[in-house]
């Protein structure tokens, strides 16, 4: 790690903190020197000290086609060379990209491109408020919807401050977020039908939108209980509130049509980012025509200098074509499941309590002493020390994933059997230590 250390010291002089937040996690003296990356290719990434890793972090998710997919890269370069970078004016490639997204996702009839997941969420929340004329947004503990203010909340919230499970207080809005915004948020415990129904009975008519990840990928990988997403759908419809699926992670990952296809539940609005551009920085807001009405008639201006620029639309268009390969998701889900189950059995064979929750192309191996169906369970049951050792032992054996147990492992659409075999072999060594 000599060169990484050197670069970190240099970075701190001109970059506050020296590196992005994830690279600096976990704190408290553990892993103090972030890895500096030389390059990534497909499912593998190399650091500046020449170490190669099978990569399950995938740029925090967006590299669903692995690093530097040649087809997407070539499409982007070609579009820039032939057309330019951004116009602030309409052009045909934007229509092509939107048509392909609409074709891929069952419940998305129209789509607008944006620059980041946070931005897309902020816009979706505004559209919901403008459409309903209401101001309250309901969100859930343990989920993350980006850095923008309106629904900001640390996913890894301090439960001492948050209070009761039935109705956690909107704490942890974070430094710099106006405290008044707390009044516009109601926070609930996820996967708890009772508290949701009760809230809707009490305040359903004040609620502009309910926002959720369809599976909680910002606390490991917690799946919805049977019927839970359907309940969110039926209750929001009943009270005239909008349902927003934040598919920044699940979109184009758990299935080509994301949760719409995988769970068969159709929200009013859906936000996308990681994945939609195969690693390029692009986000999107999709919705039914009815939900997009205010944008269509010009009441709500969805503006942004870089929205739908050439890089984004070329990346989206090429990515959508690649994702349409028949059998791709079935194959990669099976591959991801083989990895997940393999890790689980290696752990259990070595006397370590661990279990997997997942959706094939994204999962978490929990080191936990009880079942986890929401953030409160995760705090109560996970064994952080075991996870840290696991992370370190895998890293030295050439396998990289998010250094927090409350995140997850991403399997790209280009990982292959050799990656899985290498990872399982590394795990067999790591679990023995
Ligand atoms: N929503 C979800 C579900 C996310 O996981 C994230 C990012 N981790 C965001 C929104 C924010 O996206 P971005 O980082 O692109 O702003």
By most ligand atoms within 8 Å of CB, the mutation choice from 64, 125, 146 for ligand 1 is 146
pLDDT value of residue 72: 98
Q: With contact defined as beta carbons under 8 Å apart, do 315 and 137 qualify?
A: no
Q: Which has the closest alpha carbon to 251: 316, 337, 296?
A: 316
CA–CA separation, 16 and 37 (whole Å):
18
**E strands of 133-282, at which residues?**
136-140, 185-188, 207-212, 242-246, 269-272
Instruction: Say how many Å lie between the CA of residue 61 and the centre of ligand 1.
Output: 9
What is the atom index within ligand 1 of the atom nearest the CA of 247? Answer: 3
Q: With contact defined as beta carbons under 8 Å apart, do 423 and 340 qualify?
A: no
CA–CA separation, 251 and 217 (whole Å):
11
CATH topology of domain 70-323: 3.40.640
What is the atom index within ligand 1 of the atom nearest the CA of 116? Answer: 15
Q: With contact defined as beta carbons under 8 Å apart, do 391 and 407 qualify?
A: no
Instruction: Say how many Å lie between the CA of residue 431 and the centre of ligand 1.
Output: 32
Residue of minimum CA distance from atom 7 in ligand 1: 146
CATH topology of domain 2-68+326-432: 3.90.1150
pLDDT value of residue 181: 86
Instruction: Say how many Å lie between the CA of residue 60 and the centre of ligand 1.
Output: 9
For residue 26, whether the previous peptide bond is cis, meaning omega lies within 30 degrees of 0, is yes
Instruction: Say how many Å lie between the CA of residue 44 and the centre of ligand 1.
Output: 23
Instruction: Say how many Å lie between the CA of residue 382 and the centre of ligand 1.
Output: 23
Would you tell me how many other CB atoms lie within 10 Å of the CB of residue 178?
8
pLDDT value of residue 237: 98
**E strands of 205-258, at which residues?**
207-212, 242-246
pLDDT value of residue 32: 58
Concatenate the DSSP letters of all residues of 386-416 into one string. Answer: HHHHHHHHHHHTTEE--S-TTS-EE--TT--
Residue of minimum CA distance from atom 1 in ligand 1: 145
Write down the domain spans for the chain: 2-68+326-432, 70-323
By most ligand atoms within 8 Å of CB, the mutation choice from 57, 147, 273 for ligand 1 is 273
Would you tell me how many other CB atoms lie within 10 Å of the CB of residue 356?
21
Q: What values do phi and psi take at 55, rounded to 5?
A: -100, 115
pLDDT value of residue 24: 63
**CB proximity list for 221: less than 8 A, separation 6 or greater:** 215, 357, 358, 359, 362, 363, 364, 408
CA–CA separation, 249 and 214 (whole Å):
10
Residue of minimum CA distance from atom 9 in ligand 1: 146
What is the atom index within ligand 1 of the atom nearest the CA of 121? Answer: 10
- Give per-residue pLDDT as tens, 235-266: 999 999 999 999 999 999 999 999 999 999 99
Instruction: Say how many Å lie between the CA of residue 146 and the centre of ligand 1.
Output: 5
By most ligand atoms within 8 Å of CB, the mutation choice from 124, 125, 246, 248 for ligand 1 is 248
Q: Is the torsion defined by CA of 61, 63, 65, 66 positive or negative? A: negative
**E strands of 73-218, at which residues?**
110-114, 136-140, 185-188, 207-212
Instruction: Say how many Å lie between the CA of residue 432 and the centre of ligand 1.
Output: 35
Pocket lining for ligand 1, CB < 6 angstroms: 116-118, 121, 144-146, 213, 218, 246, 248-249, 273
CA–CA separation, 292 and 277 (whole Å):
22
What is the atom index within ligand 1 of the atom nearest the CA of 281? Answer: 15
What is the atom index within ligand 1 of the atom nearest the CA of 60? Answer: 8
Instruction: Say how many Å lie between the CA of residue 350 and the centre of ligand 1.
Output: 35
CA–CA separation, 320 and 322 (whole Å):
5
By annotation, the residues acting in catalysis are: 144, 246, 274
Residue of minimum CA distance from atom 12 in ligand 1: 117
**CB proximity list for 335: less than 8 A, separation 6 or greater:** 360, 411, 415, 416, 417, 420
Residue of minimum CA distance from atom 8 in ligand 1: 146
First to last CA, the chain: 22
CA 320 to chain centre: 18
pLDDT value of residue 170: 67
By most ligand atoms within 8 Å of CB, the mutation choice from 117, 217, 219 for ligand 1 is 117
Q: Is the torsion defined by CA of 115, 118, 124, 127 positive or negative? A: negative
- pLDDT tens string, the chain, 433 residues long: the values are 889 989 989 999 999 888 877 666 555 555 657 889 999 999 999 999 999 999 999 999 999 999 999 999 999 999 999 999 999 999 999 999 999 999 999 999 999 999 999 999 999 999 999 999 999 999 999 999 998 888 877 777 778 778 787 777 766 567 788 888 888 999 999 999 999 999 999 999 999 999 999 999 999 999 999 999 999 999 999 999 999 999 999 999 999 999 999 999 999 999 999 999 999 999 999 999 999 999 999 999 888 999 999 999 999 999 999 999 999 999 999 999 999 999 999 999 999 999 999 999 999 999 999 999 999 999 999 998 999 999 999 999 999 999 889 999 999 999 999 999 999 999 999 999 8
Interface TM-score (ipTM) > 0.90:
yes
What is the atom index within ligand 1 of the atom nearest the CA of 61? Answer: 8
């Amino acid at each position: 790690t000599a060169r990484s250390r050197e670069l970190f010291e240099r970075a701190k002089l001109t970059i506050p903190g020296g590196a992005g937040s994830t690279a600096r996690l976990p704190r408290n003296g553990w892993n103090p020197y972030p890895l500096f990356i030389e390059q990534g290719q497909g499912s593998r990434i190399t650091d500046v000290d020449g170490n190669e890793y099978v990569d399950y972090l995938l740029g925090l998710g967006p590299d669903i086609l692995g690093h530097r997919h040649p087809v997407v890269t070539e499409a982007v370069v070609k579009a820039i060379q032939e057309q330019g970078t951004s116009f602030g004016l309409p052009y045909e490639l934007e229509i092509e990209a939107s048509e392909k997204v609409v074709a891929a996702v069952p419940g998305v009839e129209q789509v607008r491109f944006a620059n980041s997941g946070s931005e897309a969420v902020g816009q979706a929340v505004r559209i919901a408020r403008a459409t309903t004329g209401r101001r309250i947004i309901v969100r859930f503990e343990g989920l993350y919807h980006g850095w923008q203010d309106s629904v900001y909340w640390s996913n890894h919230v301090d439960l001492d401050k948050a209070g009761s499970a039935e109705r956690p207080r909107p704490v942890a809005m974070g430094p710099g977020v106006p405290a008044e915004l707390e009044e516009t948020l109601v926070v609930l415990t996820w996967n708890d039908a009772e508290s949701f129904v009760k809230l809707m009975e009490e305040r359903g008519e004040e609620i502009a939108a309910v926002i959720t990840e369809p599976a909680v990928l910002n606390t490991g990988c917690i799946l919805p209980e049977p019927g839970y997403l359907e309940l969110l759908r039926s209750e929001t419809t009943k009270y005239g509130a909008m349902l927003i699926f934040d598919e920044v992670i699940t979109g184009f990952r758990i299935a080509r049509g994301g949760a719409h296809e995988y769970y068969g539940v159709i929200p009013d609005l859906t936000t996308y980012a990681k994945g939609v551009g195969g690693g390029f920085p692009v986000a999107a807001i999709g919705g039914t025509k009815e939900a997009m009405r205010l944008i269509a008639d010009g009441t709500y201006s969805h503006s942004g200098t870089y929205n739908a620029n050439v890089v984004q639309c070329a990346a989206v268009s090429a990515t959508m074509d690649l994702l349409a390969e028949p059998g791709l998701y079935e194959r990669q889900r099976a591959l991801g499941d083989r990895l997940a189950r393999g890790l689980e059995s290696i752990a259990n064979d070595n006397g370590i309590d661990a279990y997997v929750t997942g959706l094939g192309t994204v999962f978490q191996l929990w080191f936990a002493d009880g079942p986890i169906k929401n953030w409160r369970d995760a705090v109560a049951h996970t064994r952080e020390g075991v996870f840290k050792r696991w992370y370190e032992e895998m890293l030295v054996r050439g396998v990289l994933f998010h250094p927090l147990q409350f995140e997850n492992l991403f399997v790209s659409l280009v990982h292959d059997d050799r990656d899985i075999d290498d990872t399982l072999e590394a795990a067999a060594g790591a679990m023995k230590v």
